[in-house]
Amino acid sequence: MAGNRTFTMIKPDAVSAANSGAIIKLIEEAGFRVVAVKKTQLTEERAGEFYAVHKERSFYKELCEYMSSGAIIPMILEKANAVEDFRKLIGATDPKKAEPGTIRNLFAKSIEANAIHGSDSDENAAIESSFFFSGLERF
Ligand code: IDP
């Protein structure tokens, strides 16, 4: 059975463009409850740990530089079928391919600076949530 929590973070391009409020509004209107939220900034090394699965990809170094270039807003979200429904809400990785009305279609600047992250499995949602939050920070 699909779990009811997922992990997201609003990425540096969307935070610096002052789009985080509009993005959180869309998330809440889509029925997700914010369980945990904070504003923070990754070092390049921590960004590298978060995206370790992409270590061998050509864009890895650039991605780590970008993800540590400014503030991010990580969040844990709750809703039935959270992971799958949230991936639909954010749209495809490449904003040119993201469906109209999805968060990446509305706010992403490029395939790299694509406004928002969404976990791709229940297992990764749990791992990524623990990367940023302790049990005490979840409500
Ligand atoms: P996802 O975020 O839609 O799950 P992934 O393939 O897991 O996509 O890639 C992680 C992140 O790496 C993307 O959200 C994006 O920021 C960046 N990325 C993915 N593909 C490319 C690319 O071809 N060039 C530059 N950055 C990329």
For residues 38 and 40, what is the distance between their CA atoms, to the nearest angstrom? 6
Segments forming the whole domain that contains residue 32: 5-137
3-class state of residue 78 by DSSP: strand
Answering whether pTM is above 0.90, one says yes
- Tens-place pLDDT, residues 104-130: 999 999 999 999 999 999 999 999 999
Ligand 1 center to 136 CA (angstroms) = 30
For residues 78 and 80, what is the distance between their CA atoms, to the nearest angstrom? 7
Report ipTM (2 d.p.).
0.98
93 annotated as a binding-site residue? yes
Can you give the CATH number for the domain in which 79 is found?
3.30.70.141
Tokens at 22, concatenated: 């509009």
Q: Is the CB of 92 under 6 A from ligand 1?
A: no
Q: Which of 56, 63, 68, 127 for mutating ligand 1's site (highest number of atoms within 8 Å of CB)?
A: 63
Domain count, the chain: 1
